[in-house]
C-alpha cells in the first residue's frame, strides 16, 4: 500500500470515527422523554452506525453511516441493519456510501433494492486554525441564556418540532460540546456547534435564521470554532452542490472559504419506490 493510499485510508477512518462519536453523543444528550416523543434511537453495530427519528424525517437523522468497507461483506450484519432501519427510521432513510467503497457497495445494496440517488454529502477536513477579526457578536453556551437561544434558533431554522428544544439545551450544557450563537442588534440570529475530543473535532448544526442569511454569519461561526479548536483536525459535511439546492451550495462555499478541503464525497443509497 502506497503512502498516499495509507494516508487516505487513515483520514477516512478518522472522519468516520469522529462523526460516529459526535452523532452518538448528540443522541445520548436527549432526555428520555424527548427520545420517546421523537422516536429517536441509534445502534452502533460492528461496522456502521444507524440513526432513526420518525418525527424528524430528514436524512441526517435516518441513515446508516460511518460505514467500514467490511460492512458490505458481512451479509448477516447488512441484512439486520437494513431491517432495523425499515422498522425504526422515517421513510426516505438512506445508506451513506463513501466514494472509495462505491464499487464494493453498489452490487451489494442493489441486491437489497437500494440504489444510488446521485445525491449525497461532501466530507470536509481542516488542519489549520482560522484567524482574522470577528465582525459579529458571538457567545458560547457557557454564558447565561445562550443555551435557550441556541435551542430556539436550531429548532426554528431547521423546522424541527418543538420537542427538540430540551434536547438542544441539554446538548449546549454537555461535556465535549461547544455551542455558539451570533447576535445581531441584540437578537439571536445564527447558531452552530462543535464536538471536540483529543483527536480533533466535528463541526455541525449550522443554522442561520432567514432574515440574516447572506451576511456571512456561517463563515464567522466556522472561523470561531476553528479558532477555539486551535491546532488539530476538524471535519464537517455539507450537501454536494446542485443547482436546485442553493442553501447547500452556500454552505459548501463557506466551508471552502473557511480553509476546509474536500476529503471525499459520500453518496446516498435509498430504496427504490
* pLDDT at residue 244, as a whole number: 45
β-pair type (94-98, 63-65): parallel
Rg (CA), the chain: 18
Cα pseudo-dihedral 206, 207, 211, 213, rounded to 10: 20
Q: For residue 51, list its beta bridge partners.
A: 42, 63
Are residues 239 and 101 in contact, defined by beta-carbon separation less than 8 angstroms?
no
Surface-to-core class of residue 248, CB atoms within 10 Å of its CB (0-12 exposed, 13-18 middle, 19+ buried): middle
Region for 176 from its dihedrals, namely left if φ exceeds 0, alpha if ψ lies in -120 to 50, beta otherwise: left
- Distance linking the first and last C-alpha atoms of the chain: 41
Per-residue confidence in pLDDT tens, the chain, 273 aa: 567 789 999 999 999 999 999 999 999 999 999 999 999 999 999 899 999 999 999 999 999 999 999 999 999 999 999 999 999 999 999 999 999 999 999 999 999 999 999 999 999 999 887 777 778 999 999 999 999 999 999 999 999 999 999 999 999 999 999 999 999 999 999 999 999 999 999 999 999 999 999 999 999 999 999 999 999 999 999 999 874 445 558 899 999 999 999 999 999 999 975
Q: Which residues contact 244 (CB under 8 A, 6 or more apart)?
A: none
Q: How many CB atoms lie within 10 A of CB 261?
A: 11
Are residues 53 and 40 in contact, defined by beta-carbon separation less than 8 angstroms?
yes
* pLDDT at residue 135, as a whole number: 87
Quote the pTM value: 0.94
* pLDDT at residue 256, as a whole number: 93
Amino acid at each position: 500500500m502506497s503512502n498516499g493510499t495509507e494516508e487516505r485510508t487513515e483520514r477516512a477512518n478518522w472522519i468516520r470515527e469522529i462523526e460516529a462519536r459526535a452523532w452518538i453523543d448528540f443522541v445520548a444528550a436527549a432526555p428520555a422523554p424527548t427520545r420517546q416523543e421523537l422516536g429517536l434511537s441509534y445502534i452502533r453495530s460492528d461496522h456502521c452506525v444507524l440513526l432513526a427519528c420518525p418525527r424528524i424525517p430528514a436524512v441526517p437523522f435516518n441513515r446508516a453511516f460511518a460505514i467500514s468497507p467490511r460492512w458490505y461483506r458481512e451479509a448477516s450484519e447488512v441484512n439486520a441493519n437494513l431491517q432495523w432501519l425499515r422498522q425504526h427510521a422515517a421513510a426516505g432513510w438512506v445508506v451513506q456510501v463513501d466514494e472509495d467503497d462505491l464499487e464494493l457497495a453498489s452490487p451489494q445494496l442493489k441486491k437489497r433494492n437500494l440504489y444510488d440517488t446521485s445525491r449525497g454529502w461532501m466530507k470536509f477536513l481542516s488542519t489549520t486554525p482560522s484567524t482574522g477579526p470577528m465582525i459579529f457578536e458571538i457567545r458560547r453556551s457557557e454564558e447565561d441564556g445562550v443555551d435557550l437561544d441556541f435551542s430556539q434558533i436550531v429548532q426554528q431554522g431547521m423546522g424541527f418540532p418543538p420537542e427538540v428544544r430540551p434536547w438542544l439545551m441539554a446538548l449546549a450544557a454537555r461535556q465535549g460540546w461547544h455551542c455558539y450563537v451570533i447576535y445581531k442588534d441584540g437578537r439571536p440570529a445564527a447558531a452552530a456547534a462543535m464536538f471536540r475530543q483529543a483527536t480533533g473535532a466535528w463541526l455541525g448544526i449550522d443554522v442561520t435564521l432567514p432574515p440574516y442569511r447572506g451576511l456571512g454569519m456561517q463563515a464567522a461561526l466556522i472561523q470561531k470554532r476553528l479558532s477555539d479548536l486551535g491546532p488539530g483536525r476538524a471535519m464537517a459535511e455539507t450537501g454536494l452542490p446542485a443547482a436546485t439546492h442553493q442553501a447547500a451550495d452556500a454552505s459548501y462555499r463557506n466551508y471552502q472559504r473557511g480553509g476546509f478541503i474536500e476529503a471525499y464525497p459520500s453518496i446516498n443509497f435509498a430504496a427504490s419506490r
